[in-house]
């Protein structure tokens, strides 16, 4: 079974899909959606099959593939999965179809013509520039771009012999000097500003490729390539498909996201190259192979520098406390689906990187910097929670809660016990589900009401009971109520931390109280009480499509809360091996039974 | 080693002294009589062409001639030493000079065909 | 004076042994030079309309022929023409690169479908801007076809520049490559004043820097008693000479070369010249001149002054850091897309200097690889720029690029890809190139330099991304620019450049192997 190159197939399917969907003409929006959904479902099936085929007991990477890529620098295409990366790939594969379905109408829903920025300009243009004959034919609504393009080419043919300029794209009549005597075949004014639906879904697929690649890579260079390449689709998703009316804010958020990530990425690049040079000094030929690099005995001084290079990149990505300021902006401005992926999976790359690369590659440095990381983690838990309580913008609020959650994950990772480590990895998965669902529900609300302001809601439980119910489940999972998935992971993290550092664990535990405050306070302000705004009475409850979107998430949240064993069984051996590899063993009085507290409920 | 450069240094000093000295001497000793011709730009001893004020064409005849002059000047510079070392350079020299003169001729041909030789 | 000197000389020696010249090994240079001469003759004798057709074909054929000659010569490792010219693997690698870029640039120059009449080259350069004839000249079908022979001459100079084994020959090559470029810079069809200003500035500053260079050569001669690189290198190894001359030589020759590559603080011509020149010429300059100047720089610093490594390295560090910072930071404030790319070119010169500062074989390999990747990307970028036009020529102001991603996604997508390559995002050639030089620099104990380079990369990424923001995240303008759709040649160039950018990002191994072979066989002395 393990001879099947699952990971390569899982990479190729969405990659090819992204290209195919990306080249669909704009008017084939429905086809693009269906195709994307099908592809993501295929990936999901592949991921499930791979998980079934995975043998948790076996050490090392499974489904490994190795092909030389740039031999001059010892770079290879190497993929492989251990328990940690496998569950995260699975998470990505689960979230993608959900996101596709939830974004079904989001892109083509609010036309730019409907908002204050583009409409007057478009109208004015329409009046001033009567579309040319060819343009008129094609411009039956904003979608018929292909037809217009044909018109443009035809006109070019007519002008062919002379020195005239054929114009494909929309254009006001250019000054005569260009030689455009005749009216330009202009595309319909609606089309000019419209956002391409196939492009949106192609970006999602490209993002999926990047996410799977980043978890699957076992070559540090390949990891870096996916790490950076993943940014670009997310950047366009935020910048191009964020809230239509908030053009300045979403560009700002997109650029901030990209520049932060690039800066971190470049520091990591320095460390990656440094690692290569160190390996070249130790071995005959430099390499990027993770398994080989792991065996190197790097001097502590060099380790510290390289660790910092990686750590800052991951801390920005995750994000941890002082590097987090891009997250609320990106979270608020990203379209709902992208926000789910951003917080659900993309940010996990940071925490994944900490446990996969920072700790095994630089054990001495990890030891040295552990107190600093733990301090940042605890600060993050409180800082994120306090800021979340103060937010009026719902998406920002959810983003800040994530900051607190990432604090827990970092705490579990750097406690260096297998329990806390397992909890941290499980937390990554659970956070993806719970915060993902929270973002989805908030996205539904915002799509209905058109604002992210908490004050615009109130008493919705009466009008949209199902939506309110799902909201509550997501919220309770987010605050780690026993019986939901997050409880298991949070408990594991705290117990694992407690065995090595009691004070820190106790302090972190109080963070849970704050979590209860921000979630319940949000729920109270939006869902309970009397209906404060009359226009809210017209809001619709979840549609069938939306119910299909949330159903698997709710099922997983409850299911993993009640019976997390299968996932833990996959994660635990890998985490234990990671820590054992660097000489970290659990302190003596650890009772394994404590690991499954959720099992009985 | 450095002493090889002393003559150059001396030459430099003499040149500076001569340049500065003659200007200063001229200022001190010479008579001062200004007229229009003295203030005008010097242009090969003939009436200067009117300075272009504003966007209009100005004659480039002199530049053309000057270019042609340089073309042949360069040629002469190489022809003289070649003549002196004609024997020792033999066939190689002949070939090289033929190539060189052909190259020079290309420039000449271009100027001639493009009307650079027509004065008006 | 000269004649007299010669006479004296002859009186002393009497006999001159004629040097032997291996014409076959010089064939790439000779082919290109011959084509340039034929081009001049074509311009002299053919009619206007035939000239327009013949010239680009002739130039292109010449470049292809020379490329073939370069390929045939591979593996040659010798000093030719009495020590004047060196043919070795790095030389051939860079000559080939220059020829490929020249070929692509000729496609751009030959493009005649961009405008209502001719391409980017002016109909009659002598017409005063704003005069009665200037409007007619703008729409005239005529073209100043001298542009082609000028380009070919410039390529000759570039090829000799990277091949010269003798500082004096290098100076001659510098002039051969520069003088045609000064003229080409002034040949833009539109915005004549800007173009003329560019030509004038380029000429004045270029002449100034050439003077520095030749002065440095004089000092090198004073130090070593020879202008041949090998002999200078030998002299550097011996003691008892006047080191002051040597340092002056290094500094002054360095100034001349730093000027040509556009390194700070000798960069100030770059933005004006890039902006004012016709865009195809800008592309040619950005790609070709950079290869030539770096080729010469590498040879001078690795061969002639290689023994002085520990003395010039700190200076090179300083120049590299300053160049990267100036390029990246000043680009942030630009409003004109061509000026922005000019500052980006400065920043890239800085990144390349990081590879030079590594001063090891890996540095040579990395720099050569980087030059190829940068050239392809930048030519494609300028090709795309020339496609976005308003009634008044190119829409070079950044604000005119608003919303282009919505109105012409393919063009904006391609341009974004190229910008991301310039920013050094993985899976583009820009990243592989940066990786190659940074790896060499860390290997060569220049880690701090790499850190600065990475920070500058991040700053630089910001202004590349800003253009993408404008194109994709802003609403299109009502009076937006027009994207011209018929120019096959420009499309081809942009396509080839973008494809090379992708291929060299995804599968760089073949070119890396080539660069590796060239670098490890090293410079001939």
Tell me, what's the ipTM? 0.83
The bridge status of strand C388-390 relative to strand C482-483 is antiparallel
Residue B67 belongs to a domain: yes
| Cα distances (angstroms) measured from residue C84 to each of A74, C160, C176, C214 | 39, 10, 16, 16
Looking at residue B54, its pLDDT comes to 57
Confidence class of residue B91 from pLDDT cuts 50, 70 and 90?
A: confident
Supply the DSSP symbol for A484. Answer: B
Q: Does residue A581 have a pLDDT over 90?
A: no
**In a 10 Å sphere around its CB, with 0-12 CB exposed, 13-18 middle and 19+ buried, how is residue C445 labelled?**
middle
Query: In Å, how far is B18's CA from the nearest CA of chain C?
Result: 19
Q: Does residue A149 have a pLDDT over 70?
A: no
The pLDDT tens digits of the residues spanning A376-398 come to 999 999 898 888 888 888 888 88
**Residues 6 or more apart in contact with residue A510 via CB below 8 angstroms:** none
**Residues 6 or more apart in contact with residue C68 via CB below 8 angstroms:** none
Confidence class of residue C5 from pLDDT cuts 50, 70 and 90?
A: low
A186/A184 Cα distance (integer angstroms): 6
Query: In Å, how far is B120's CA from the nearest CA of chain C?
Result: 16
Looking up residue B84, the CATH number of its domain turns out to be: 1.20.58.1610
Q: Does residue B53 have a pLDDT over 80?
A: no
Which SS3 state, helix, strand or coil, does residue A533 take? Answer: coil
Looking at residue A129, its pLDDT comes to 36
Q: Do chains C and B touch (3 or more CB pairs under 8 A)?
A: yes
Number of domains in chain B: 1
| Interchain contact, A172 vs C117, CB within 8 Å | no
Query: In Å, how far is B23's CA from the nearest CA of chain C?
Result: 25
Q: Do chains C and A touch (3 or more CB pairs under 8 A)?
A: yes
Are A551 and A463 within 8 A, CB to CB? no
Are B80 and C3 within 8 A, CB to CB? yes
Of A211, A207, A168, the closest CA to residue A191 belongs to A168
Query: In Å, how far is C156's CA from the nearest CA of chain B?
Result: 14
A346/A432 Cα distance (integer angstroms): 10
Residue B20 preceded by cis peptide, ω within 30: no
Residue B5 belongs to a domain: no
Of A405, A417, A256, the closest CA to residue A320 belongs to A405
Q: Do chains A and B touch (3 or more CB pairs under 8 A)?
A: no
Residue C139: count other Cβ atoms within 10 Å of its Cβ. Answer: 15
Query: In Å, how far is B55's CA from the nearest CA of chain C?
Result: 6
A370/A413 Cα distance (integer angstroms): 10
A409/A387 Cα distance (integer angstroms): 19
Question: Packing angle between helix C488-506 and helix C361-385, nearest 10 degrees?
Answer: 150
Q: Which of A291-295, A296-300, A581-585, C449-453 has the lowest mean pLDDT?
A: A581-585
From chain C, the residues in CB contact with B113 under 8 A are 44-45
C203/C201 Cα distance (integer angstroms): 5
Residue B19 belongs to a domain: no
| Interchain contact, C18 vs B88, CB within 8 Å | yes
Residue A551: count other Cβ atoms within 10 Å of its Cβ. Answer: 13
Domain with B86 in it = 49-120
For A394-439, the DSSP string reads HHHHHHHHHHHHHHHHHHHHHT--HHHHHHHHHHHHHHHHHHHHHH
Query: In Å, how far is C51's CA from the nearest CA of chain A?
Result: 18
C364/B39 Cα distance (integer angstroms): 58
Confidence class of residue B15 from pLDDT cuts 50, 70 and 90?
A: very high
- Token representation of residue C506: 């995804």
- Half-sphere exposure in the Cβ direction for B39 (13 Å, CA): 4
Confidence class of residue A578 from pLDDT cuts 50, 70 and 90?
A: confident
- How far is residue B74 CA from its own chain's centroid? 10
What is the reported pTM? 0.83
Question: Is C42 touching B (CB cutoff 8 A)?
Answer: no
Are C112 and C169 within 8 A, CB to CB? no
Q: What average pLDDT does this structure show over A511-516? A: 86
Query: In Å, how far is A135's CA from the nearest CA of chain C?
Result: 14
Higher pLDDT, C472 or C182: C182
Q: What average pLDDT does this structure show over A551-578? A: 89
Phi and psi torsions of A392, nearest 5°? -100, -25
A545/A549 Cα distance (integer angstroms): 6
CB nearest to C482's CB, from A167, A247, A270 = A167
Of C175, C171, C169, the closest CA to residue C153 belongs to C175
A373/A412 Cα distance (integer angstroms): 11
Q: What average pLDDT does this structure show over C141-161? A: 92
- How far is residue C109 CA from its own chain's centroid? 16
From chain A, the residues in CB contact with C324 under 8 A are none
Residue B69 belongs to a domain: yes
From chain C, the residues in CB contact with B98 under 8 A are none
Q: Does residue A209 have a pLDDT over 70?
A: yes
Most B CBs within 10 Å, among C21, C40, C146, C218, to test the B interface:
C40
Q: Does residue C348 have a pLDDT over 90?
A: yes
CB nearest to B55's CB, from C19, C43, C131 = C131
Q: Which chains touch B (3 or more CB pairs under 8 A)?
A: C
Residue A210 sits at the vertex; the CA angle it makes with A206 and A213, to the nearest 5 degrees, is 135
Look at the alpha carbons of C415, C420, C426, C432 in this order and tell me if their dihedral is positive or negative.
Answer: positive
| Interchain contact, C16 vs B89, CB within 8 Å | yes
From chain C, the residues in CB contact with B114 under 8 A are 43-44
Confidence class of residue A120 from pLDDT cuts 50, 70 and 90?
A: very low
Q: Which of A338-342, A443-447, C13-17, C172-176 has the lowest mean pLDDT?
A: C13-17
C281/C198 Cα distance (integer angstroms): 12
Confidence class of residue C117 from pLDDT cuts 50, 70 and 90?
A: low
The bridge status of strand C482-483 relative to strand A75-81 is unpaired
Q: Which of A392-401, C337-346, C347-356 has the lowest mean pLDDT?
A: A392-401
Q: Which letter, b or e, does each residue of C151-160 get, where b requires 16 or more Cβ atoms within 10 Å of its Cβ?
A: bbbbbbbbbb
Residue A15 preceded by cis peptide, ω within 30: no
Question: Is C45 touching B (CB cutoff 8 A)?
Answer: yes
CB nearest to C128's CB, from B56, B112, B114 = B56
Looking at residue A139, its pLDDT comes to 34
Of B111, B81, B112, the closest CA to residue B96 belongs to B81
Question: Packing angle between helix C48-72 and helix C89-110, nearest 10 degrees?
Answer: 160
Query: In Å, how far is A221's CA from the nearest CA of chain C?
Result: 10
Higher pLDDT, C485 or A402: A402
What average pLDDT does the structure give for chain A? 79
Size of the A and C interface in Cβ pairs below 8 Å: 175
With CA atoms as reference, the chain A residue closest to C480 would be A171
Question: Is A170 touching C (CB cutoff 8 A)?
Answer: yes
- Token representation of residue C229: 């690189």
| Interchain contact, C478 vs A196, CB within 8 Å | no
Q: What average pLDDT does this structure show over A84-104? A: 90
With CA atoms as reference, the chain B residue closest to C132 would be B56
Residue B13 belongs to a domain: no
| Interchain contact, B88 vs C40, CB within 8 Å | no
Question: Is B6 touching C (CB cutoff 8 A)?
Answer: no
Of C313, C326, C303, the closest CA to residue C355 belongs to C313
Q: Does residue A527 have a pLDDT over 80?
A: yes
| Interchain contact, C41 vs B110, CB within 8 Å | yes
- Half-sphere exposure in the Cβ direction for A587 (13 Å, CA): 12
| Interchain contact, A70 vs C409, CB within 8 Å | no
Look at the alpha carbons of C467, C471, C474, C478 in this order and tell me if their dihedral is positive or negative.
Answer: positive
- Half-sphere exposure in the Cβ direction for C417 (13 Å, CA): 23
CB nearest to C426's CB, from A192, A229, A274 = A229
Q: What average pLDDT does this structure show over C284-307? A: 91
Q: Which chains touch A (3 or more CB pairs under 8 A)?
A: C
Q: Does residue C133 have a pLDDT over 80?
A: no
Are A301 and A63 within 8 A, CB to CB? no
Q: Does residue C113 have a pLDDT over 80?
A: no
The pLDDT tens digits of the residues spanning A490-506 come to 889 998 888 888 888 88
From chain A, the residues in CB contact with C384 under 8 A are none
Look at the alpha carbons of C300, C301, C306, C312 in this order and tell me if their dihedral is positive or negative.
Answer: positive
Confidence class of residue C122 from pLDDT cuts 50, 70 and 90?
A: confident
Residue B3 belongs to a domain: no
The bridge status of strand C78-80 relative to strand A62-70 is unpaired
Q: What average pLDDT does this structure show over A198-205? A: 89
Question: Is B83 touching C (CB cutoff 8 A)?
Answer: no
- Token representation of residue A480: 């780690």
Are A449 and A456 within 8 A, CB to CB? yes
**Residues 6 or more apart in contact with residue B108 via CB below 8 angstroms:** B68, B71
Looking at residue A121, its pLDDT comes to 34
Confidence class of residue A108 from pLDDT cuts 50, 70 and 90?
A: low
A45/C268 Cα distance (integer angstroms): 59
**Residues 6 or more apart in contact with residue C398 via CB below 8 angstroms:** C334, C335, C336, C337, C340, C467, C470
Question: Is A217 touching C (CB cutoff 8 A)?
Answer: no
The kind and range of the H/E element at A77 are strand A75-81
Q: What average pLDDT does this structure show over C447-459? A: 89
**Maximum CA pair distance of chain B?**
60
Q: Which letter, b or e, does each residue of A331-342 get, where b requires 16 or more Cβ atoms within 10 Å of its Cβ?
A: bbbbbbbbbbbb
Query: In Å, how far is B26's CA from the nearest CA of chain C?
Result: 27
Looking at residue B45, its pLDDT comes to 61
The pLDDT tens digits of the residues spanning A220-270 come to 999 999 998 888 889 888 888 877 777 788 888 888 888 888 888 888 888
Q: What average pLDDT does this structure show over A193-207? A: 83
From chain B, the residues in CB contact with C126 under 8 A are 57, 60
Higher pLDDT, A450 or A571: A571
Which SS3 state, helix, strand or coil, does residue A393 take? Answer: strand
Size of the B and C interface in Cβ pairs below 8 Å: 58
Are C28 and C66 within 8 A, CB to CB? yes
From chain C, the residues in CB contact with B89 under 8 A are 16, 18
CB nearest to C3's CB, from B80, B89, B106 = B80
Phi and psi torsions of A436, nearest 5°? -60, -45
Looking at residue A336, its pLDDT comes to 86
What residues does C390 pair with on adjacent strands? C393
- Half-sphere exposure in the Cβ direction for A265 (13 Å, CA): 28
Q: Does residue A537 have a pLDDT over 90?
A: no
Looking at residue A178, its pLDDT comes to 34
Looking at residue C93, its pLDDT comes to 94
Looking at residue A254, its pLDDT comes to 87
- Half-sphere exposure in the Cβ direction for C36 (13 Å, CA): 23
A294/A78 Cα distance (integer angstroms): 15
Confidence class of residue C164 from pLDDT cuts 50, 70 and 90?
A: very high
Residue B23: count other Cβ atoms within 10 Å of its Cβ. Answer: 10
C329/C272 Cα distance (integer angstroms): 17
CB nearest to A72's CB, from C391, C455, C512 = C512
From chain C, the residues in CB contact with B109 under 8 A are 40-41, 44-45
Confidence class of residue C167 from pLDDT cuts 50, 70 and 90?
A: very high
Q: What average pLDDT does this structure show over C379-388? A: 92
Most C CBs within 10 Å, among A178, A233, A246, A302, to test the C interface:
A178
Are C122 and C196 within 8 A, CB to CB? no
| Interchain contact, C483 vs A168, CB within 8 Å | yes
Question: Is A153 touching C (CB cutoff 8 A)?
Answer: yes
């Amino acid at each position: 079974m393990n001879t099947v190159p699952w990971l390569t197939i899982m990479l190729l399917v969405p990659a090819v899909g992204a290209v195919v969907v990306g080249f669909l003409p704009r008017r084939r929006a429905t086809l693009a959606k269906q195709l994307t959904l099908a592809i993501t479902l295929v990936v999901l099936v592949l991921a499930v099959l791979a998980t079934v085929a995975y043998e948790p007991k076996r050490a090392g990477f499974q489904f490994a593939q190795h092909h030389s890529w740039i031999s001059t620098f010892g770079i290879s295409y190497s993929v492989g999965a251990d328990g940690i990366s496998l569950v995260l790939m699975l998470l990505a594969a689960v979230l993608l179809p959900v996101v596709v379905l939830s974004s079904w109408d989001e892109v083509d829903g609010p036309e730019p013509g409907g908002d204050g920025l583009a409409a007057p300009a478009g109208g004015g243009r329409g009046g001033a520039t009567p579309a040319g004959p060819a343009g008129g034919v094609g411009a039956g609504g904003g979608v018929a771009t292909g037809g217009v393009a044909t018109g443009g080419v035809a006109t070019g043919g007519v002008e062919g012999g002379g020195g005239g300029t054929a114009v494909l794209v929309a254009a006001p009549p250019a000054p005569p000097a260009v030689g455009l005597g005749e009216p330009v075949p202009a595309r319909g004014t609606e089309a000019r500003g419209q956002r391409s639906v196939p492009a949106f879904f192609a970006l999602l697929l490209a993002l999926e490729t990047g996410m799977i690649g980043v978890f699957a890579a076992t070559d540090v260079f390949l990891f870096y390539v996916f790490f950076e390449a993943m940014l670009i689709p997310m950047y366009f998703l935020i910048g191009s498909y964020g809230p239509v009316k908030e053009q300045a804010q979403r560009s700002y958020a997109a650029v901030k996201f990209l520049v932060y990530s690039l800066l971190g990425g470049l520091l990591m690049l320095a460390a990656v190259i440094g690692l290569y040079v160190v390996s070249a000094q130790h071995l005959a030929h430099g390499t990027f192979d993770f398994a080989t690099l792991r065996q190197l005995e790097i001097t502590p001084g060099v380790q510290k520098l390289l660790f910092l290079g990686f750590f800052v990149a991951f801390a920005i990505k995750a994000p941890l406390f002082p590097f987090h300021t891009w997250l609320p902006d990106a979270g608020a401005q990203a379209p709902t689906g992208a926000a789910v992926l951003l917080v659900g999976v993309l940010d996990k790359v940071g925490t994944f990187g900490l446990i996969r690369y920072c700790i095994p590659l630089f054990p001495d440095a990890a030891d040295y910097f552990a107190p600093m990381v733990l301090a940042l983690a605890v600060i993050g838990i409180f800082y994120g929670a306090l800021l979340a309580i103060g937010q009026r913008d719902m998406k920002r609020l959810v983003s800040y809660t994530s900051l607190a959650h990432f604090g827990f994950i970092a705490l579990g990772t750097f406690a260096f016990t297998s329990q806390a480590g397992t909890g941290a990895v499980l937390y990554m998965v659970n956070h993806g589900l719970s915060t993902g669902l929270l973002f989805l529900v908030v996205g539904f609300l915002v799509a209905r009401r058109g604002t992210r302001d908490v004050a615009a809601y109130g008493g919705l439980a009466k009008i949209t009971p199902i939506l309110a119910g799902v909201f509550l489940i997501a919220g309770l999972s987010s605050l780690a109520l026993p019986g939901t998935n997050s409880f298991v992971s949070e408990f594991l993290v705290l117990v694992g931390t407690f065995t090595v550092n009691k004070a820190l664990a106790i302090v972190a535990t109080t963070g849970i109280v704050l979590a209860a405050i921000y979630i319940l306070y949000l729920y109270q302000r939006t869902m309970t009480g009397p209906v404060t705004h009359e226009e809210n009475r017209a809001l619709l409850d979840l549609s069938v499509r939306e119910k299909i979107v949330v159903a698997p998430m709710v099922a997983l949240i409850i299911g993993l809360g009640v019976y997390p064993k299968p996932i833990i069984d996959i994660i635990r051996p890998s985490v234990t091996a990671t820590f054992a590899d660097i000489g970290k063993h659990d302190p003596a009085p650890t009772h394994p039974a404590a690991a499954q507290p959720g099992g009985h409920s | 080693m450095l002493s090889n450069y002393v003559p150059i240094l001396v030459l430099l000093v003499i040149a500076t002294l001569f340049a500065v000295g003659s200007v200063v001497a001229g200022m001190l000793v010479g008579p001062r009589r200004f007229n229009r011709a003295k203030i005008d730009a010097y242009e090969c001893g003939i009436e200067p062409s009117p300075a272009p004020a504003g966007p209009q064409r100005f004659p480039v005849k002199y530049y053309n001639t000057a270019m042609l002059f340089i073309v042949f000047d360069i040629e002469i510079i190489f022809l003289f030493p070649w003549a002196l070392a004609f024997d020792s350079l033999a066939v190689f020299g002949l070939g090289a000079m033929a190539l060189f003169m052909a190259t020079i001729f290309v420039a000449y041909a271009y100027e001639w065909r493009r009307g650079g030789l027509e004065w008006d | 004076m000269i004649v007299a000197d010669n006479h004296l000389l002859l009186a002393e020696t009497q006999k001159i042994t004629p040097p032997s010249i291996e014409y076959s090994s010089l064939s790439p240079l000779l082919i290109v030079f011959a084509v340039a001469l034929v081009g001049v003759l074509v311009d002299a004798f053919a009619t206007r309309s035939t000239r327009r057709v013949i010239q680009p074909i002739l130039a292109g054929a010449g470049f292809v022929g020379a490329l073939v000659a370069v390929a045939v010569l591979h593996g040659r490792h010798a000093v030719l023409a009495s020590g004047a010219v060196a043919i070795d693997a790095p030389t051939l690698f860079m000559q080939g690169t220059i020829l490929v870029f020249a070929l692509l640039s000729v496609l751009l120059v030959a493009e005649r479908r961009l405008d209502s009449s001719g391409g980017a080259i002016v109909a009659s350069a002598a017409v005063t801007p704003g005069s009665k004839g200037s409007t007619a000249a703008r729409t005239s079908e005529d073209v100043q076809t001298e542009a082609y022979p000028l380009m070919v001459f410039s390529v000759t100079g570039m090829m000799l520049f990277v091949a010269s084994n003798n500082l004096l020959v290098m100076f001659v090559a510098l002039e051969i490559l520069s003088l045609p470029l000064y003229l080409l810079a002034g040949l833009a069809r539109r915005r004549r004043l800007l173009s003329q200003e560019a030509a004038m500035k380029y000429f004045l500053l270029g002449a100034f820097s050439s003077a520095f260079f030749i002065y440095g050569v004089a000092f090198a001669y004073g130090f070593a008693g020879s202008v041949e690189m090998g002999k200078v290198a030998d002299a550097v190894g011996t003691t008892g000479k006047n080191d002051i001359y040597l340092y002056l030589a290094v500094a002054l020759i360095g100034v001349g070369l730093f000027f040509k590559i556009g390194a700070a603080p000798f960069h100030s011509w770059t933005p004006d010249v890039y902006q004012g020149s016709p865009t195809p010429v800008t592309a040619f300059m950005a790609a070709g001149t950079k290869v030539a100047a770096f080729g010469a720089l590498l040879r001078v610093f690795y061969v002639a002054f290689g023994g002085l490594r520990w003395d010039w390295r700190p200076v090179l560090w300083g120049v590299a850091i300053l160049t990267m910072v100036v390029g990246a930071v000043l680009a942030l404030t630009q409003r004109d897309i061509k000026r922005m790319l000019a500052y980006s070119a400065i920043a890239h010169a800085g990144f390349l200097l990081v590879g030079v500062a590594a001063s090891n074989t890996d540095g040579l390999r990395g720099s050569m690889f980087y030059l190829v990747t940068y050239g392809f990307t930048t030519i494609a970028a300028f090709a795309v720029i020339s496609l976005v036009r308003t009634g008044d020529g190119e829409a070079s102001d950044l604000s005119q690029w608003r919303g282009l991603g919505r109105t012409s996604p393919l063009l904006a997508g391609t341009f974004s890809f190229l910008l991301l390559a310039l920013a050094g995002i993985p899976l583009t050639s820009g990243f592989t190139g940066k990786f190659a030089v940074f790896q060499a620099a860390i290997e060569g104990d220049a880690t701090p330099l790499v850190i600065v380079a990475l920070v500058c990369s991040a700053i630089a990424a910001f202004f590349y991304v800003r253009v993408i923001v404008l194109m994709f995240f802003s609403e299109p303008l009502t009076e937006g620019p027009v994207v011209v759709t018929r120019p096959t040649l420009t499309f081809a160039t942009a396509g080839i450049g973008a494809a090379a950018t992708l291929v060299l990002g995804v599968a760089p191994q073949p070119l890396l192997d080539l660069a590796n072979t060239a670098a490890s066989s090293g410079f001939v002395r």
